[in-house]
Structure 1
């Protein structure tokens, strides 16, 4: 029993996360082009024909840019909340569109995908827990603050894509205008490095094997700074920094930690 996970891209230039078993997989968001999604999956030895559905977290362009072309080409159902769909401006809908609602599990083969509300400046934003035979993967990005929904699901994860968007000092001293700084660090903006670390330290379950820090800001963060911040607190959890320029390796996630390994 194991799940395969990878970040195909993570950042304001596009977000797309893959979670699957041997038979079926889902994409959480489709913020890079169809062609680039295919290229990155091919490099990883993954097949688009294993992907059975796309789940959309919210309507911002970096999460939906590639969804129409990808869903049309492979006739993939797109699960999206009605309010997110109404605000998404997806250019064409000649593919199956399925309603998504918080806390209503969706079964894709043996994968169970549950959306739950989060705080972000979008019409109806949700994060996700993907479960398979007792293995839980969280996709927790674009979060203004770690609300009870996020904390509850993070504490169940064997692995998680966790937002660590900005360093407080870099944001404060950076070139962003005041209104944008306020948006980023507001309760409906993004998680700071320190907020992500606090969530990790206070609510990480003992069985979490991997955390993939995600959605790093190009201008207001530093991979080295983030790595230095988290490394002293990792214990038995492997730290991965998801890139805004390329895919991560594929990781195998299972319940028996001794069996966990990088592909």
Structure 2
């Protein structure tokens, strides 16, 4: 069966990604409020009743801000490493599930695998979500590509891939030196150039969708990031996951992936959505 994916928000102001099939779904991170999560899913025609679990990549506030309220309201299991959970606030009693790297967790027909990544958090992980032969990657907050990331990206039918900053914009920007060093220092974030090189070198021939994620408000530009990928995209649909709105819902189907009938950013806000068909 096909898999449906959407970004509910992506950026330093909050991150939340939806991956599901016709029967069940998971959220990767819960960095926007419960109310905003509900509103955005409703606009997309997605049901919270299908969401069966929340997976937390790391403890930074833009990934956990709405976690406890959302988990409590919908009685959702929260999967995180024990060290990460320690910094996630009061996860409702009985809902915490300990997460271990490279240990598969089955949610209906979805199988979620976590693997470690380079980021300045206590125990950060990225995720691969599999349903049958379909593989979806959620790869954000990555200081540098590693073999874990490369091996998983090379298997994806679709992926959320961080393209956080433009190197020139960061260098010339207003951030203090210590923050610039943190961002580009190997445990911060991927630049547009690093993300593009990953894409060029390791995208599989069957990849259908790439969502550029976690773009910096001050040190990147969605059009700039997207246009770097255009000459290398071929038949892959490339779009930018917004820090202000939800994306479209995309149907990932190896037989021929197309955008699902959801509400687009254009319909919601009238803003231009950067996308390569």
TM-score scaled by structure 2?
0.93
Post-superposition offset of 1:90: 1.0
Deviating 4+ runs (over 6 angstroms): none
Report the equivalent of 1:106.
Answer: 105
CA displacement, residues 91-124 of structure 1 (integer Å, 9 cap, x when unaligned): 3433510000000000000000000000000000
Describe the SS at the equivalent of 1:69: helix
Report the equivalent of 1:40.
Answer: 40
CA displacement, residues 26-50 of structure 1 (integer Å, 9 cap, x when unaligned): 0000000000000000000011000
Post-superposition offset of 1:254: 0.9
Question: Is 2:120–2:188's contact at 8 Å kept on the other side of the alignment?
Answer: yes
Report the equivalent of 1:6.
Answer: 6
Question: Is 1:76–1:95's contact at 8 Å kept on the other side of the alignment?
Answer: no
Post-superposition offset of 1:68: 0.1
Matches within 5 A, 1:1-263: 1-86=1-86, 88-257=87-256, 259-263=257-261
Question: Is 1:72–1:95's contact at 8 Å kept on the other side of the alignment?
Answer: no
Structure 1 residues not aligned, in runs of 5+ = none
CA displacement, residues 175-196 of structure 1 (integer Å, 9 cap, x when unaligned): 0000000000011000000000
Distance (whole Å) between structure 1 residues aligned to residue 197 and residue 72 of structure 2? 41
Distance (whole Å) between structure 2 residues aligned to residue 226 and residue 118 of structure 1? 23
Describe the SS at the equivalent of 1:72: helix
Describe the SS at the equivalent of 1:68: helix
Question: Is 2:64–2:88's contact at 8 Å kept on the other side of the alignment?
Answer: no
Post-superposition offset of 1:25: 0.1
Post-superposition offset of 1:147: 0.4
Query: 1:145 and 1:137, CA in 2 relative to 1: closer, same or farther beyond 3 A?
Result: same
Describe the SS at the equivalent of 1:225: helix
Post-superposition offset of 1:236: 1.3
Distance (whole Å) between structure 2 residues aligned to residue 167 and residue 173 of structure 1? 10
Distance (whole Å) between structure 2 residues aligned to residue 132 and residue 90 of structure 1? 31
TM-score scaled by structure 1?
0.98
Structure 2 residues not aligned, in runs of 5+ = 262-277
Report the equivalent of 2:272.
Answer: none
Distance (whole Å) between structure 1 residues aligned to residue 66 and residue 209 of structure 2? 27
* Cα-Cα RMSD: 0.9
Distance (whole Å) between structure 1 residues aligned to residue 173 and residue 163 of structure 2? 17
